[in-house]
């Protein structure tokens, strides 16, 4: 079963980290991805651009309305995602718990339909 691991970030939490702590997160996530590639569970993933670069489209009354930024005012935003193909939701949850951002904000695990 394929799962999308939606990685959330809170800018205030990120800024509170030391330079050394921030620098350690990338290699830690890269090592997890390398392990998932070797096990055959890695499907793909990506970092996302900052919410300030996003646009939201809503269609109302047949007209498309576009606004800047994310659709909701929240402290956390989706910072990236990983897609894994594993045997169970329990395994997907185990992988999500190893993503560094799970310690800082959160990682949502959602089955792909």
pLDDT in tens, 18-45: 999 999 999 999 999 999 999 999 999 9
Helix ranges (H only) for 1-113 are 11-16, 19-39, 89-98, 101-104
Higher pLDDT, 54 or 90: 90
Task: Specify the pTM.
Answer: 0.85
Closest alpha carbon to 1 in 107, 95, 97, 83: 83
Q: Determine the 3-state secondary structure of 62 from DSSP.
A: coil
Are residues 3 and 92 in contact, defined by beta-carbon separation less than 8 angstroms? yes
Higher pLDDT, 105 or 70: 105
What does each C-alpha distance from 103 to 3, 39, 82, 97, 98 come to in angstroms?
Answer: 20, 24, 16, 8, 9
Q: What is the mean pLDDT of the chain?
A: 91
Whole-number Å distance between alpha carbons of 88 and 53: 35
Closest alpha carbon to 105 in 2, 13, 5: 13
């Amino acid at each position: 079963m394929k799962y999308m691991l939606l990685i959330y970030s809170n800018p205030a939490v990120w800024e509170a980290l030391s330079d050394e702590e921030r620098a350690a997160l990338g290699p830690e996530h890269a090592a997890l991805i390398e392990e998932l590639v070797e096990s055959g569970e890695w499907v793909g993933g990506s970092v996302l651009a900052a919410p300030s670069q996003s646009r939201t489209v809503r269609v109302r009354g047949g007209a498309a309305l576009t606004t800047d930024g994310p659709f909701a005012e929240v402290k956390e935003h989706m910072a990236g995602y990983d897609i894994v193909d594993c045997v169970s939701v329990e395994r997907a949850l185990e992988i999500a718990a190893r993503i560094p951002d799970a310690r800082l904000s959160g990682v949502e695990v959602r089955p792909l339909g």
